[in-house]
A = this chain, B = another copy of it.
Amino acid sequence: MPLKKSWVVSANDADHPFPLNNLPYGVFSTEGSDPRCGVAIGDMILDVTSAEVEGLITLSDEPLFDLPFWNPLMEEGPAVWAALRNRLTDLLAESSEARGDIEPMLVAQDDAEMHMPFAVSEYTDFYAGRNHAQNVGTMFRGAENALPPNWLHIPIGYNGRASSVVVSGTNIRRPWGQLKAPDQDHPAFLPSRRFDIELEMGAIVGTPSDGPVTVQEADDNIFGYVLLNDWSARDIQAWEYQPLGPFQAKATATSISPWIVTKAALEPFRCDTPAREFELLDHLKDCGPMLYDINLSVTMAPEGKDATTIARTNYNQMYYSAAQQLAHHSTSGCPMNTGDLLGSGTISGPTKPERGSLLELSWGGKEPLTLDSGETRSFIEDGDVLTLTGAAKGKGYTIGFGDCVGSVLPALENPYAR
């Protein structure tokens, strides 16, 4: 599929993240206005809430865009998702006759503040990247026992905290927590000293389910994808995670990119999961290419300094697709709802510069990174700005996600003073 041309000229650049082929969904506000639904096109945002009010988008008897999140559309299901995408494509295509009506509803992205694009119902985080699991397992248990026995049979996941999910641009406060240094007998309550990122993709459930779903049904139920940074306090995690898994180490914040890139926009980039070491059980078997070829990178910028790219990898490195994760999530009968967010797990490639966390990049702090500024890092320092980027490259066009950015603020002096 080639670049589709738009009358919004900035959208026609081969490297622009938001061509007509993309049409990602977000929630934005401009000075003095309330947050509303919008779709990115080139450097602009089309105000979808206004377009619906003006009768240029009519998908349902009830308004779909009068609330500042995309859940009402997601609840409508795949036929309405497709109808909206077709309508937006018609309105914004080079040949559109509606340009005169639509142009007044465009806002420059530079003038907009982005908000959470959807209300997160529940948040689940997986551990489904093999290189990451292998790296972390090797550090903690040795190379021989790196992968837990279940890892090649099920996408291991745990429930995260939906209330902690924030949109890109939200500052992240270094957490306090209970941690125990290896040379101490007892734990102490301190600011985290090993605060980290995890480079992930997030899949958003559009269609709810109330019982086990197949991998194909799970894929059908997914609405779209975002970049996701699962901020992780490694020292809090090390002390708390046995026997019931990560808890406060992962509850400070999870950042997502501001634009939901729809499954439809990603169709041309589908690719296969890797060869299986053990055949998966029937209910988890691949039923087509369900990963995506999306280039991902992470940059780190010390406060006031230039950013250094510290990792480059690709979403095609996952062992399990989001559809397989969602299918597994439903096996017990667990009801899945519109707005559920599934983190892929940290995405790391096979070589050192492809690792999606500082824990792996600095090998637990033993091999600090050197940034372009000359500074070194094992984990995040106060003031550092961490940015995830993602882009799928088509023939003559790009599907971008919008950066997922967070600046780390110093821990509170006294967390109980408010």
What residues on B are CB-neighbors of A212 within 8 Å? 176, 415-416
Asked if residues B281 and A148 are in contact (CB atoms below 8 Å), the reply is: no
Asked if residues B328 and A164 are in contact (CB atoms below 8 Å), the reply is: no
Contacts A243-B241, A245-B243; is A251 near B163 (CB within 8 Å)? Answer: no
Closest to A337 in B: B163
Return the contact of A153 from the options B176, B178, B241, B252 (Cβ within 8 A): B178
Asked if residues B240 and A154 are in contact (CB atoms below 8 Å), the reply is: yes
Asked if residues A248 and B127 are in contact (CB atoms below 8 Å), the reply is: no
Q: Which of A16-24, A185-193, A346-354, A383-391 contacts B (4 or more CB under 8 A)?
A: A185-193
What interface size band does chain A fall in? 35 or more
Q: Is the interface of A mostly helix, strand, loop or mixed?
A: loop
Asked if residues B178 and A331 are in contact (CB atoms below 8 Å), the reply is: yes
Q: Is A7 an interface residue (CB 8 A)?
A: no
Copies in the complex: 2
Nearest-Cβ distance from residue A306 to partner chain B, whole angstroms = 29
What residues on B are CB-neighbors of A187 within 8 Å? 150, 153-154, 281
Q: Is A159 an interface residue (CB 8 A)?
A: yes
Asked if residues B248 and A246 are in contact (CB atoms below 8 Å), the reply is: no
Please measure, in the bound complex, the distance between the C-alpha atom of A410 and the C-alpha atom of B157, giving whole angstroms. Answer: 26
Asked if residues B163 and A333 are in contact (CB atoms below 8 Å), the reply is: no
Asked if residues B158 and A158 are in contact (CB atoms below 8 Å), the reply is: yes
Q: Is A335 an interface residue (CB 8 A)?
A: yes
Can you offer 22 A-B residue contacts whose CB atoms are under 8 A? A127-B244, A148-B243, A149-B180, A150-B239, A153-B178, A156-B240, A159-B247, A161-B334, A164-B334, A164-B335, A176-B331, A176-B332, A177-B331, A178-B331, A189-B281, A189-B282, A189-B283, A233-B332, A241-B243, A248-B329, A248-B332, A252-B333
